[in-house]
């Protein structure tokens, strides 16, 4: 029976990097690299390293679990299971290492691979956002600030903003990968005492084989600020995806209904209200983002371990590492589907542009009044009171302005009307979008 939804409902290809088998395999990958380093330095026969490498392919998860049930130490259970598969040289398995030499190095390896996988997912997100931005660069819509109609903008601007934010997320993931792609082979307190003066050479050889860098200095563990940076980078990715999903949810409201996430022909929105077309995919993205953000606090708590380390990080990391990566990957996968199938409602976009009867062009008229000789503050006050009059009298703003002599005397016939075309008040938005995507 599945308990965690990341094993079923929210499962992605990322799960394969964090399941029990993968964890044991990554530990043995480090053990093999350690054996080969010892062999290169003459600490064990080359045949021993070869037997350990061959034995690692025969170890089963079920056998490791059997041993762990007896000894209550998961890493040592793996060591014993591996040694069983090495009848001649089993005594060399785990030579000179402490548990977290293996575990933390394997964690660095796993996180590096997980970041590389997530990067591919987000590159796909960026691609669809770039496509949408260029497609809608001139699709004029009303801009909203504080939940109120502001001035016109374009849908291309929305997508370009998200495109650049994903781009920054990719950069942060690259920085996080650089920070976490380290391992250690330094013993119980980081002194390398068990390696007889060869510790730094052994550590370098192990990391070279695994494609990692050696931690410059460590105690029993790789320092947890590195892991916290990774989790924080994932939380920022999750926040970006939530930001996109939240905007789609709001724009899908019946009163607005400018865009909508995909809705299948047989999809059910509610068990009792047949008319419902709930944006549940976007809502799910927003919900899951809270989980990833929650992991940041835990990762930060793990930085301040006692002395050369305590075990207070260990149990929670079994949750936050896998959960954060898998959930973020699932969110990105869902967002790619949402963006790829997004539906636009041009008639509603037009309706909302005209909803305030021209009030959203007040800024434009104010600027034009200043250009024609009126003081800026005077123009602002005039437009403010004109809007109050239009709102309270349920009139359109152009009609109110037409009745004001201080305004009409500054315009020739037909000039004022041109100012109230929202499609001609989008500034350099098209060029901004093009430059953002081309860059």
How is residue 85 written in tokens? 């598969």
Nearest to 59 by CA among 35, 27, 88, 82: 82
Burial bucket for residue 307 (CB in 10 Å: 0-12, 13-18, 19+): exposed
154 strand-pairing partners? 140
Active site residues: 146, 270
149 CB contacts (<8 Å, ≥6 apart)? 142, 143, 352, 355, 356, 359, 360
The contacts found for 380-385 with CB under 8 angstroms, 24 or more apart, are 382/406, 382/407
SS3 per residue for 22-87: HHHHHHHHHHHHHHHHHHHCCCCCHHHHHHHHHHHCCCCHHHHHHHHHHHCCHHHHHHHHHHHCCC
d(CA 353, CA 343): 18
CA of residue 372 relative to chain centroid, distance = 49
d(CA 203, CA 214): 6
């Amino acid at each position: 029976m599945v308990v965690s939804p990341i094993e079923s409902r929210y499962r992605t290809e990322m799960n394969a990097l964090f399941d029990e088998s993968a964890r044991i395999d990554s530990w043995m990958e480090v053990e093999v690299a350690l054996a080969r380093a010892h062999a290169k330095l003459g600490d064990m026969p080359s045949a021993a390293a070869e037997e350990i490498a061959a034995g690692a392919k025969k170890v089963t998860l079920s056998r490791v679990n059997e041993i762990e049930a007896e000894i209550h130490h998961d890493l040592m259970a793996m060591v014993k299971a591996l040694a069983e598969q090495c009848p001649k040289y089993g005594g060399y398995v785990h030579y000179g290492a402490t548990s977290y030499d293996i575990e933390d190095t394997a964690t660095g390896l796993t996180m590096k691979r997980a970041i590389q996988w997530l990067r591919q997912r987000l590159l796909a997100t960026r691609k669809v956002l770039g496509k949408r931005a260029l497609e809608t660069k001139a699709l004029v819509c009303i801009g909203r600030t504080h939940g109120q109609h502001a001035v016109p903008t374009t849908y291309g601007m929305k997508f370009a903003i998200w495109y650049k934010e994903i781009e920054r997320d990719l950069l942060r993931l690259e920085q996080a990968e650089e920070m976490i792609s380290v391992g250690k082979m330094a013993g119980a307190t980081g002194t390398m005492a068990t390696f007889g003066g060869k510790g730094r050479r052994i550590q370098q050889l192990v990391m070279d084989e695994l494609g990692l860098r050696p931690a410059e200095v460590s105690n029993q563990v790789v320092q947890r600020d590195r892991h916290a940076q990774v989790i924080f980078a994932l939380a920022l990715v999750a926040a970006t995806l939530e930001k996109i999903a939240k905007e789609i949810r709001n724009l899908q409201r019946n009163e607005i209904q400018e865009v909508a996430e995909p809705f299948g022909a047989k999809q059910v929105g509610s068990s009792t209200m047949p008319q419902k077309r709930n944006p549940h995919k976007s809502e799910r993205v927003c919900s899951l983002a809270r989980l990833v953000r929650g992991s940041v606090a835990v990762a930060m708590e793990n930085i301040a371990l006692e002395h050369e380390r305590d075990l207070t990080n260990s149990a929670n990391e079994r949750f936050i590492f896998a959960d954060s990566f898998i959930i973020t990957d699932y969110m990105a996968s869902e967002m790619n589907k949402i963006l790829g199938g997004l539906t636009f409602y041009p008639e509603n976009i037009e309706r909302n542009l005209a909803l305030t009867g021209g009030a959203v062009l007040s800024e434009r008229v104010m600027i034009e009044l200043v250009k024609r000789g009126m003081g800026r503050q005077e123009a602002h006050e005039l437009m403010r009171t004109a809007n109050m009059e239009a709102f309270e009298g349920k009139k359109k703003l152009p009609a109110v302005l037409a009745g004001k002599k201080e305004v009409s005397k500054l315009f020739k016939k037909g000039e004022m009307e041109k100012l109230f075309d929202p499609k001609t008040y989008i500034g350099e938005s098209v060029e901004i979008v093009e430059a953002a995507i081309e860059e």
